[in-house]
Structure 1
Amino acid sequence: MVGSTLLKKENKMKIGIVGLGDIAKKAYLPILCAREEIELIPCTRNPSTLREVMDKYHLAKGYLDVDDLLREGIDAVFITAATDAHEALVETFLKAGVPVHIDKPLTMHYETSESLVMLSEERKVPMMVGFNRRFVPLVKKVHDLGVPERVLYQKNRYLKPDAIRRFIVEDFVHVIDTTRYLLQSEVSEVAVFPKLREGKLVSITIVLGTPVNHGICIMDYENGVTEEIVEVFHTHRKSILRNLASIESYEHGVHTIDAQKDWESTLHKRGFEDLIDAFLGAIKNREPLPIPLRDSLKTHEICEQIVIAIENKRP
């Protein structure tokens, strides 16, 4: 253990965080370390990274080995390690009876994701996949307008073409999940329109069909700009969400603009604060998790369908 003589207050929840890479440093650590009601215990195999994080946030304890973290008797764990490590880590904590918050995706393959969901259910150990866009204030605001006629979701980047599975499961998964969240109806049809070059995925267009509405999902890695634009259509109303930061609404010909407040933190605007607090609150109060595990699994299942469809179309 790397540690100090600082003592914890007995009424605090003990929370572990495993994996201290970019997503942990940018999103999870700043929020978790600001919560006075928890004692955060980081874990990574990298000694210098562990010391850096502990020094920066004045943390009393930290470990290089997951088994040592488990001996602390933690109340829950946030797993923010590389996706390839998710399966083994999740299995370890579920079998130890520790509630898990896992950064998306659960795993790179639907079959392994499903097996972990089944393990969570069999052991009756809570687990939640961290789809932060469901907690973006403006996304929630549009969601609360009710079931739409259709959703058009574009999340474009200025990157190079990428491997099919990585493109879909690690990046496009956000678009699929948020579109499902906004549609508020079970997806029954998936149509796939990929653009490939030399075996790599350049762009993708997906149509998600439900019995009452549909969603069009687009991601282009050769776009002229990095952008995220969501258009949601209700009867006599259109909402345009731009980069998760503002909504333009058109209702019966009247145009209004609603933007997030300048004084609100970026992590709040992007949903991470409410995501983390909702998970911790549910664990502390023994309440159902805010994102049902089977609902998250459906997103992974659709991503797997998309990957298979693209691979079948590849020359």
Structure 2
Amino acid sequence: MPVGVIGLGDIAQKAYLPVLTALPGLDLRLMTRDRAKLDRIADTHRIAQRYTDLGELIDSGIRAAFVHAATDQHVPITTALLEAGIDVYVDKPLDYHLAGARKLVELAEREGRSLMVGFNRRHAPGYVMAKERPRDLIVLQKNREGLPEAARTLVFDDFIHVVDSLLFLVPGEVEHVDVRSRVRDGLVEHVVLTLAGDGFTALGIMNRLSGSTEEILEVSGGDSKRAVHNLAEVIDHRGQPTVRRRGDWVPVARQRGIEQVVTGFLDAVRSGKVLSARDALYTHELCERIVNELETQAR
């Protein structure tokens, strides 16, 4: 099956190409405007078909595409692909603004094509396991060291993973949303999101001055707790804690859900199943609301 990969930055190189090049039955075709980078990466993976022009890649007959280009290029690239009848997987976010994300989702629906957003945590084994447990209280922290940032890019580039993971894990309809933050000199130092509904509360926390890079999920209810540390270690608490660690030979891409989300998308393309991005659009809607709250609080 002919598949295009558009954009060859760090995420494409570290997370996606190792998975895609190991899958059988794919005819990979790489595209980036930087010819030297294109040749270097294609040589590394022994990929013959190389393009610096999107139109030429589309004309080559690809059935599906992975878009890993810069976020501000997602809308024009994905629009061209969808209008050409190509199913598309896009790195999060679809766009830095809700209007752009909504445009792509509605276009995919009109064209009858799949549009999938790279929310890999929905497929990460540790987070899937967390969904098996009672979830009266959910706390997810995704912290960084020395990285305060403007609200829009912080939320749509990074905090969006926290937002989407909470929406994946909550056991019911969200009825209440609250946002708290600390913003200095126009840069967000921390943000705390509260989602609540019938019988549950979910907290999403990001501290960009935490002194540590970490991701910790805790779900609790029924007098028990399950914690997931950095997507790799699962700890169950009910009296004496029990720890399950990622096996030595389990690939990082599988631990982080990259392998599963990629194969899920490609299986849908092969079978003709159309994947909707409506659920992902709700995540973008909530992120836009959070940005507006942060910018208001900064005034």
TM category, shorter: over 0.9
1 CA distance for matches of 2:282 and 2:125?
23
Instruction: Report the Cα distance in structure 2 between the residues aligned to 1:102 and 1:308, rounded to whole angstroms.
Output: 24
Report whether the alignment pairs 1:220 with 2:204. Answer: no
- Deviation of 1:148 after TM superposition, in Å, equals 1.3
Given the alignment of the two structures, is residue 264 of structure 1 paired with residue 250 of structure 2, yes or no? yes
- Partner amino acid, structure 1, of 2:270: K
Alignment pair present for 1:112 and 2:100: yes
CA contact 2:112–2:274 (8 Å) conserved in 1: no
Cα distance in 2 between the residues matched to 1:144 and 1:102: 28
Q: TM-score, normalised by structure 2?
A: 0.97
What is the match of residue 294 of structure 1? 278
2:220 aligned residue: 233
2: distance between equivalents of 1:288 and 1:67? 24
* Counterparts in 2 of 1:278 and 1:210: CA distance versus 1, 3 Å: same
- The question of 1:150 aligning with 2:134 is answered no
Structure 1: gaps (5+ residues) = 1-12
Residue 82 of structure 1 corresponds to: 70
Compute the displacement of 1:281 (Å). Answer: 0.7
1:311 to 2:268 alignment: no
Q: Spell out, residue by residue over 1:211-264, the C-alpha distance to the aligned partner (whole angstroms, 9 max, x if none).
A: 34221010001002111000101212101111111111113x242111111111
Residue 259 of structure 2 is matched in structure 1 by: 273
Match of 1:243 among 214, 230, 233: 230
TM-score by length of 1: 0.92
Instruction: Look up the SS of the partner of 2:65 in the other structure.
Output: strand
- 1:288: Cα distance to partner? 4.6
Q: Which amino acid aligns with 1:85?
A: Q
- Please state if 1:163 is matched with 2:174: no
Deviations 1:94-149 (A, max 9, x none): 1111000000001001111011111111111110001011111111111133x511
Which residue does the alignment assign to 1:130?
118
Distance 1:80 1:244 in 2: 22
What SS class does the counterpart of residue 118 from structure 1 fall into?
A: helix
Percentage of pairs with the same residue: 36
How many equivalent pairs are there?
A: 299
The match for 1:19 is: 7
Superposition map of 1:201-212 within 5 A: 201-212=188-199
Partners of 2:32 and 2:175 lie apart in 1 by 41
Distance in 1, matches of 2:213 and 2:139, equals: 17
Give the alignment partner of residue 241 of structure 2, picking from 248, 251, 255.
255
CA–CA distance in structure 1, aligned partners of residues 190 and 274 of structure 2: 37
Alignment-derived partner of residue 94 in structure 1: 82
- How far does the alpha carbon of each residue in 1:35-67 deviate from its partner, in whole angstroms, 9 at most, with x for none? 121010000100001101111011121100000
The corresponding residue for 1:180 is: 167
Amino acid of the residue matched to residue 262 of structure 1?
Answer: D
Range that drifts further, 218-227 or 184-193: 184-193
SS at match of 1:176: helix
SS at match of 1:224: coil
- 2:164 & 2:289 partners in 1: Cα distance? 14
Q: Secondary structure at the match of 2:4?
A: strand
Q: Aligned-pair distance for 1:183?
A: 0.9
Q: Which has the higher contact order (CA 8 A, sep 6+)?
A: 2
Equivalent position amino acid for 1:245 in 2: A
SS at match of 1:17: strand
Unaligned runs of 5+ residues in structure 2 are: none
Partner-residue secondary structure (3-state), 2:144: strand
Distance, in Å, in 2 between the alignment partners of 1:288 and 1:259 is: 35
SS in 2 for 1:41: strand
Runs of 4+ aligned structure 1 residues displaced above 6 Å come to: none
